[in-house]
Structure 1
Amino acid sequence: MPTIACIQFDMAWENKPANYQTVAEMVRSANLAPGSLLVVPEMFATGFSMNATGIVEPVRGPTHDFLASLARQHQLFVLGGVVQPGPTGTWPALNGRPRNEAIAISPDGQLLARYAKMHPFTLGGEKDHYAAGDEIVQFEWQGLKVTPFICYDLRFPELFRRAAKLGTDLFVVIASWPAPRTHHWTTLLQARAIENQAFVIGNNRCGSDPKLTYDGRSLVIDYAGTILADGGTTPSVVTAAINPEAMRSWRTKMPFLADMRDDL
């Protein structure tokens, strides 16, 4: 069965080389099967920083290259967070705000998808420093349609519903979700799985940054809302095998998605 692996760790603040090294060591020790989907958190190379113009990279910059090298070296599909200019921006984003993005890379190092967070976190000042994305993206993995989202997107179920109508089988939410709202994190991830009859992966960081603490609790959840793996609160590689055929059987037996109404 296809395997998911989430890297949950305490990020070195705005220190890309240190974070690359930590992730590389954790992946090496995990000894993942080729073809697995490796997930790395939101802004994993820097932490959730509002120093947007200081941490932004070219579209194929060092974080992209690091993730691509991981994918090639271990023959993995890799999805991780990075700050890049928007499509109309110029390096180094002088004529517009950068975007908080998730990129997916194939085992041969090719870019599969590039998603920009559609809901910057207003309460944390993100909306003042980062431009919002405007489209859902998907990529194929092990015969599944995968849709990535980022952190605060999780609070907007209509976004997931739109993606469900596009045939999403697996949602991946990468995050820097703070400890005071961990209950919201776990509950909303399960709700998104149940209501869309899809696998949901929530990959959160642990540790702390200059402002907040993070509980981790990276989760792999099945199409019925059952938690298959829980990363707890400390650094770990959270792994789980998923059963796509069981999901398809569940959807056939319980055809809730067919009753969605477009006129409401």
Structure 2
Amino acid sequence: MAKKVVKIASVQVEIKDEETKEERIERVSRMLDGLGDYDLILLPEIWATGYFSFDHYKKEAEPLDGDFTRYFSEKAKKLGAYVHAGSFVEKEGDNYYNTSVLFDRKGELVGTSRKIHLFRYGSAEGELLTRGDEPTVLETEFGKIGLSTCYDLRFPELYRAQVDKGAKMFLVTSAWPHQRLAHWNLFNQARALENQCFLVSSNCVGKTKNVLLGGHSQVVDPWGVAVASAGEFETIVKTEIDLGQIESIREEFPQLKHRVL
């Protein structure tokens, strides 16, 4: 039986251009050390390299079984928690991907998700990386969870496809700019509401490569209400959710059953 009550920690990481990848990983690792009593921990998008550090992508890229994933596999095992380590630049053959990874309490890799919608507005991501091509839904002790990344939030059909695969919760890893913060808040709430799912997001903060990041990581319930959220500084959003609410809400207001397309 899936675990119903889940303690969640969304880690909102500040990106500092003067930090190296190794220094940032070590600093964030210390932030995670106090989260051993949480069930699920989420980190942001390409936070170790820094999403907007495009000139570092290829030289800091790693294979799926590289140092980054080994490190967070061990971290998940040590904490005894599910750890969504955010995303990193994955190298496979001649291709590079924006790949997120989820580990279980034993440090086993539950699954990965390659970002499907690559951002091209003031971003080199679409030139440097190859997109993923399959909606990701993973089986966990909490039930089925859909993974997505940042710009994916603008494409509702992805989340509806995940719901059709049985997802009850969405995990969104992101490096969303402050310039479009209103859109971020809207999409977080809309994707949860229209699919009657919980949504947990982790966004970056700080100013990097002249881009101010938006923060406001949040946990949104199936009514589209942000039950916990952050501001614009480095912090950890901590809350507890009851996944049993999903079925009761879907029974009370059965909009998904009323679909005609």
1:53 is paired with a residue whose SS is helix
| Cα deviation code 1:16-51 (max 9, x no counterpart) | 21111121111113x3415x1110100011110323
- 1:43 maps to which residue? 46
List 4+ stretches of structure 1 deviating above 6 A: none
Between 1:251-260 and 1:36-45, the stretch displaced more is 251-260
- Report which stretch shifted further, 229-238 or 44-53: 44-53
TM norm structure 2:
0.92
Which digits, 9 at most, give the CA deviation of each residue in 1:82-109, with x for residues without a partner?
A: 1112xxx32xxxx3x3000111111111
Instruction: Give percent identity, aligned residues only.
Output: 29
> Do the aligned partners of 1:71 and 1:108 also contact (CA within 8 Å) in 2?
yes
**Preserved contact between residue 16 and residue 207 of structure 2 (Cα < 8 Å):** no
Q: Identify the residue that residue 68 of structure 1 maps to in structure 2.
A: 73
- Corresponding position of 1:101: 99
Amino acid at match of 1:54: K
Aligned to 1:83: 89
Equivalent position SS for 2:157:
helix
Q: How many pairs does the alignment contain?
A: 252
Distance 1:32 1:197 in 2: 29
Q: Are 1:227 and 2:232 an aligned pair?
A: no
**Any conservation in 2 of the 1:64–1:82 contact (CA below 8 Å)?**
no
Q: CA deviation at 1:142?
A: 3.3
Which whole-Å CA distance do the structure 2 matches of 1:12 and 1:207 have between them?
Answer: 7
Which position in structure 2 is the counterpart of 1:11?
Answer: 15
* Offset from partner CA, 1:148-188 (integer Å, 9 cap, x none): 10000000111111111111100111100001111100111
The one-letter amino acid of 2:172's match is: V
C-alpha distance after superposition, 1:209-241 (max 9, x if no partner) = 113011210000000011111111111111111
Indicate if the aligned counterparts of 1:6 and 1:40 stay in contact, CA closer than 8 A: yes
Distance 1:32 1:233 in 2: 25
CA RMSD of aligned residues (A): 1.4
Report how far residue 11 of structure 1 moved. 2.2
Give me the whole-angstrom Cα distance separating, in 2, the residues matched to 1:226 and 1:141. Answer: 24
Structure 2 alignment gaps of length 5 or more: none
Residue 136 of structure 2 corresponds to residue 119 of structure 1: no
* 1:152 paired to 2:151: yes
Contact map agreement 1:12 1:18 (CA 8 A) in 2: no
Structure 1 gaps, min length 5: none
1:179: which partner in 2? 178
Aligned partners of 1:71 and 1:106 also within 8 Å: yes
Q: Is 1:57 the counterpart of 2:62 in the alignment?
A: yes
Deviation at 1:141, TM superposition (A): 3.1
